[in-house]
Amino acid sequence: MSQRQLAMVMDLNKCIGCQTCTVACKTQWTNRNGREYMYWNNVETYPGEGYPKKWQQMGGGFDASGDLQEGVIPHIEADYGIPWDYNFDSLAKGEQLKANAPLTWGPNWDEDEGAGNFPSDNYFFYIPRICNHCTNPGCLSACPRDAIFKRDQDGVVLVDLDRCQGYRYCIAGCPYKKVYFNPKISKTEKCILCFPRIERGLPPACAQQCVGRIRFVGFLDDEESQVHKLVHKYKVAIPLRPDYGTQPNIYYIPPTESPVKFDANGKPIEGSNRIPAEELEKLFGKEVHEVVKTLKAEMKKRKETGESELLDMLIAFQHSEMFRLDNNYYQEHAKTKGYKLLAPVDDRYIKGKNTKKISFFKAHA
Amino acid sequence: MKKIALTLTTIGLISSVYANSVINATKMTTDLSKITVDSKEWKSAKFTDIVLYPQTTIKMNDKNANTKNSDVKAKKAKVAVLVNDKDIAFLVKWADGTKSVQAGHNSSYADGFAIQFPENFSNPKELPYIGMGSEGRNVVIHLQKAVDAFYEPNGNQDVAHQVSRNNSPYFEKELQVFDAKVKAIASNDYQKAYVGAGFRSMTEIKDGSSKFSSDMQYGKKEWSGTLNRPLKDDYLDLTKNGSFPVAFAIWDGENSNRDGLKLLSTWVPIVIDTKNDTLKVVDTLTTPVKGDVKKGQELAMANCAACHAFKGTEGVTPSPYMAPNLSNIGGYSTADYLRESILNPQAALVPGYNRNAHKNFAWYNTDEKGNRTSTMPPFNWMQPQEVEDLVAFLQTLKAEVEK
């Protein structure tokens, strides 16, 4: 366990599946050098098979007694799908349009398909997924070379590329299949929670670019942070598939709002909900029912009284309140450990438990 | 000796007297530092059979690979060794029906081989743990794998050539030039040297201070791999005595072999100078154990099976993660290692699983200073003959050899 834990909360009620986070991550980190097929951040449609295909059935994680479980390593063609491109250059020469790889699967292959019958009870929602930076990581536990570590200062899970020998047991061990093998360097790579950005006062690219403002970033022990309030005070943000036993640090506010179902005559069925409660329970555990209750109660309260701290937070008025990156903490850590940290590039998000003073335009001083 | 052994086996006193192979190096006067599989020097070399057994001490967590390897057999390999004043060269040949070269995607694994040397072999009764050494008993390992082009993680800071060709600003001829440049900066020879004090600690020597070269070639359903290295460098001094032990490992990419999913040999004595062989490595490693296998089996069921799994303990051992699995221990351990581990388990500690992977089954405890104490208590109350019986039984625990 790390000294402190940086965490993210994603509000699924507000995710519109625009993939801006996916693209932000891809252009920042994974559009090159053997990472082309990797999606450190992807947004998948649920119900759906996800990326890699059927990742929820691939094993890994821990059983109730805490033993790491066997897992499957997804196949590049069948489960990830090889990223393809078309022969646009050759079209001018009269060639037919064709892809340069077999089209087998991809990160948004079954986007917006969902389940149920249109129009009576069909439904779907989006789940953006990044590495969960677990407190009890399956990938770290599976590595025979002790190449994966959890940073002490903020709990970010990283791969030491000097130690990594490309054995790929981490991929089998991670139940979320968020660790990837880079065939070009024959080593593992994964989401780094944009730590080089965090250390300079910028939130992760996926969070900053999110147009729906669904992502909150902060330290779990920072009582002022919205992340702390959503997870610990209001207890409305819960991890995905807690039954895997890895104690994820990416939390989700489960989707509570959906249109009502229609009966055979096309009439709305009052009080019905298209998203089955058992599906939510499968994804988020039994706690989800309590969360839905809290959210409904707060919405009612807001309607009646016009006041609700929780809903004000979920509206996400200000990035500067959604992200609390505690830059002084990182600077102090660097000083005590004797490494060099660059000055923050943005002072809007540097507040935190150890960063009380906000001096706009003077952050570098 | 053979006759006595045979008689003893037939009357049931000893089962596994089949002594280890001894490899006698062929003296050369020519330069060995550039030797490859094709070199003509090998024509004068003598080949010795060794057997490599599946690693089953710890269970890896790759489900498909475990299925593929569930009843893998031991494999014979042929080894020849050449030596001159400065260098030593090894040639290992083993049958492999499928040539597996790790290609540029995530579902492909490489064939490969490795040769392991103990840093200190002045007491051949106390050699490093066969699984890449143990605390205080370091090993040096040379690895060669059949890997297609691979790249340094930072691409030697050449950012322009890390860009995907689809994202490059080039078309047609310029793109071909770009592709050629990218290909040219790849490494094609996946050969690495490591130091280790137990398999979790294995660390690559990256500063070029280990001068060696290895090579791998496939033909006629067989791999041939060579390694040449100096007899003496910063890490090893093999010249001190006339003999020293080495261990071999091979990986089969077809079976998704890598890391612990492999076949490995026990410590095999190499003799480079018979006249100067003061250490008696050969004697130590080849002296047969005089024990009663049947009595040993009873002792093992009574004393070992509560933690260690091996053939016959099904339903007795409570968890597969509790302690090293002994199913192939007879294949890749020396008799002295077995004795030492029974009497003083502390001497060569097996690093085991990640401490986080099976929290209820720690193989060792750590105090504040980081000192490790084996969870296994010493069985030093056993009578010397009982220990011999137990060792004789443990030596029978090994997979069948592939025909």
Confidence of residue B403 (pLDDT cuts 50, 70, 90): confident
Could you confirm whether domain A6-321 is CATH 3.30.70.20? yes
Interface of B with A in 57-76 (CB under 8 A): 60-64, 66
Alpha-carbon torsion (A48, A28, A167, A250), positive or negative: negative
Contacts of A274-281 with CB under 8 Å at 24 or more apart are A274/A116, A274/A121, A274/A122, A274/A123, A275/A123, A275/A125, A279/A46, A279/A47, A280/A254, A280/A255
Confidence of residue B325 (pLDDT cuts 50, 70, 90): very high
Does B164 contact A32 at a Cβ distance shorter than 8 Å? Answer: yes
B328-356 average pLDDT score: 95
Q: How far apart are CA A203 and CA A10, in angstroms?
A: 14
* Mutation choice for B interface testing from A26, A28, A159, A165 by most B CBs within 10 A: A165
Chain B residue with minimal CA distance to A31? B164
Confidence of residue B15 (pLDDT cuts 50, 70, 90): very low
Confidence of residue A42 (pLDDT cuts 50, 70, 90): very high
- Examine the fold and report which residue of B259, B278, B297 is the final residue of a domain before the chain moves on: B278
Report phi then psi at B225, rounded to 5. Answer: -130, 140
Phi-psi region of A179 (alpha: psi -120 to 50; beta: other; left: phi over 0): beta
- Examine the fold and report which residue of B234, B260, B278 is the final residue of a domain before the chain moves on: B278
B144 and B222 in a single domain? The answer is yes
Residues of A in contact with B206 (CB under 8 A): 162
The pLDDT value recorded for residue B10 is 40
B207 and B238 in a single domain? The answer is yes
Peptide bond before A74: cis, by omega within 30 degrees of 0?
no
The pLDDT value recorded for residue A357 is 59
B390 and B311 in a single domain? The answer is yes
Q: Which residues contact A359 (CB under 8 A, 6 or more apart)?
A: A347, A365
ipTM: 0.92
- Nearest-CA distance B275 → chain A (Å): 41
B38 and B118 in a single domain? The answer is yes
Residue B14 lies in a domain: no
A233, pLDDT greater than 70? yes
Report phi then psi at B329, rounded to 5. Answer: -60, -30
- Over residues B90-121, the pLDDT tens digits come to 999 999 999 999 988 889 999 999 999 999 99
Q: How far apart are CA A301 and CA A182, in angstroms?
A: 50
B125 and B75 in a single domain? The answer is yes
CATH number of the domain encompassing residue B66:
2.60.40.1190
CATH number of the domain encompassing residue B344:
1.10.760.10
Considering its fold, how many domains does chain B have in total? 2
Locate A129 and state its tokens. Answer: 């997924």
Report which listed range, B12-16, B151-155, B214-218, is most confident: B214-218
A307-315 average pLDDT score: 96
- Examine the fold and report which residue of B245, B261, B278 is the final residue of a domain before the chain moves on: B278
Question: Looking at A269-278, A350-359, B264-273, B333-342, which range is the least confident one?
Answer: A350-359
- Over residues B266-293, the pLDDT tens digits come to 999 999 988 877 778 888 999 999 999 9
The pLDDT value recorded for residue B105 is 85
Does A143 contact B171 at a Cβ distance shorter than 8 Å? Answer: no
A111-140 average pLDDT score: 96
Q: Which is it for strands A179-182 and A157-159: parallel, antiparallel or unpaired?
A: unpaired
B364 and B217 in a single domain? The answer is no
Average pLDDT for chain B: 92
B347 and B204 in a single domain? The answer is no
Residue B364 lies in a domain: yes
- Over residues A236-250, the pLDDT tens digits come to 999 999 999 999 999
B103 and B201 in a single domain? The answer is yes
Which of A70, A85, A187 minimises the CB distance to B66? A70
The pLDDT value recorded for residue A360 is 55
Does A33 contact B155 at a Cβ distance shorter than 8 Å? Answer: yes
B263 and B352 in a single domain? The answer is no
Question: Do B344 and B378 form a contact (C-beta atoms < 8 A)?
Answer: yes
B47-75 average pLDDT score: 96
Residues of A in contact with B203 (CB under 8 A): 163
Residue B137 lies in a domain: yes
The pTM for the full model equals 0.93
- Over residues A321-363, the pLDDT tens digits come to 999 999 999 999 999 999 999 999 988 999 999 987 555 555 4
* Mutation choice for B interface testing from A23, A104, A184 by most B CBs within 10 A: A184
Domain that residue B343 falls in: 287-394
Q: How far apart are CA B200 and CA B353, in angstroms?
A: 9
Report phi then psi at A21, rounded to 5. Answer: -60, -45
B66, pLDDT greater than 80? yes
Residues of A in contact with B104 (CB under 8 A): 34, 183-184
Does A169 contact B103 at a Cβ distance shorter than 8 Å? Answer: no
Which of B103, B171, B357 minimises the CB distance to A141? B357
- What is the share, in percent, of chain A residues with pLDDT greater than 90? 92
B350, pLDDT greater than 50? yes
B211, pLDDT greater than 90? yes
Question: Do A26 and A39 form a contact (C-beta atoms < 8 A)?
Answer: yes
